[in-house]
Structure 1
């Protein structure tokens, strides 16, 4: 049996105080006025669930592509600047996602410096003169979130690639096998 003392009581009260806003949200969402749920189910909830699933799958796949490919290149090949890229590929994890999203949006929008440079370079005068993908779209959100989240996959994959002995890769090359799919 656990003996309660003053510090246990204080810790329990503090935990209840901290969790009370979350409990209030759950109470109002599920036990409060439930007449809103049928309206949400019939209007916006299916679209929100669909967008969430598309975002999860897209960000997951693109983050895996970015993270695994960059980890493979950095661990398996020697090139100029390899030491720089080993740690520089981790930098997006140090910046909050919303700051990177604002930066990409401001940089790539119509009034941003990138499109302004393209208009000056090619002498375009209006948006009808050229096509540029919309950054404020599902594809843009997937790209930006993948650029923020791939360093986590890069770290784990790079650590895994570094644990595989070099002799395994050499053996796969001797037998004419693809070292990425055979060994890694």
Structure 2
């Protein structure tokens, strides 16, 4: 079982050509920095969406709460690259949203107004966050459900408002579950290829794919071909 993994490490550490210096001086820093930015951005947005939604549907009663309890898990059913295709068609220059804005305000070209570029690092962060936040939502909600109500009631009796009770009592207790969710989100973000490739984001995964399959070199860079 370990042999395929060990063979990958062997091919990377002992290539036919000495390519690590070449990679370090050209594309590797860009790949690493972009991947770190991608992981940090997706993790932060997923925490905000996952923890916030979990707290609301667990601690408050409002119309449609039971629907949202399971509907917030539906992004699990859609691959990130499919979401990327859909939102790109909706938000690009020729899409219906920008077309409606131009018709409404009389704009004629992109120089007449500013609209965020969906096919960018920020767009990739947003698309991945929309798909991966359920990891954190599911684990955070389970942690909130296991909390003792008496702890929150005691904090309210001691003068804490709803926000202080959440920040000082509920959130610290749920931190282990949130940390597990963030680790899953980070691994899925690093592993993603379809979204970053479609948005032309230079992540490590896209770089590995390009070097291995497009440049025909398992070790790292293209071999000279006759």
Shorter-chain-normalised TM-score: which range? 0.7 to 0.9
Count residues in correspondence: 167
Q: Say yes or no: does 1:134 pair with 2:120.
A: no
Provide the residue aligned with 1:181 in structure 2. 167
* SS, match of residue 116 in structure 2: coil
Q: 1:67 aligns with which of 42, 50, 54?
A: 50
Alignment deviations for residues 131-165 of structure 1 (CA, whole Å, 9 cap, x no partner): 11111111111111111110010000011111113
Give 5+ residue unaligned stretches, structure 2. 171-226
Q: Which has the higher contact order (CA 8 A, sep 6+)?
A: 2
After superposing the two structures, state which structure 1 stretch, 52-61 or 23-32, moved more: 23-32
Q: TM-score, normalised by structure 2?
A: 0.68
Give 5+ residue unaligned stretches, structure 1. 1-14
Provide the residue aligned with 1:115 in structure 2. 98
Q: 1:160 aligns with which of 143, 153, 160?
A: 143
For residues 151 and 9 of structure 2, the distance between their equivalents in structure 1, rounded to whole angstroms, comes to 53
For residues 11 and 146 of structure 2, the distance between their equivalents in structure 1, rounded to whole angstroms, comes to 50
CA RMSD of aligned residues (A): 1.8
- Give 1:27 deviation, angstroms: 4.1
For residues 122 and 176 of structure 1, the distance between their equivalents in structure 2, rounded to whole angstroms, comes to 51
The structure whose Rg is larger is 1
Moved over 6 A (4+): none
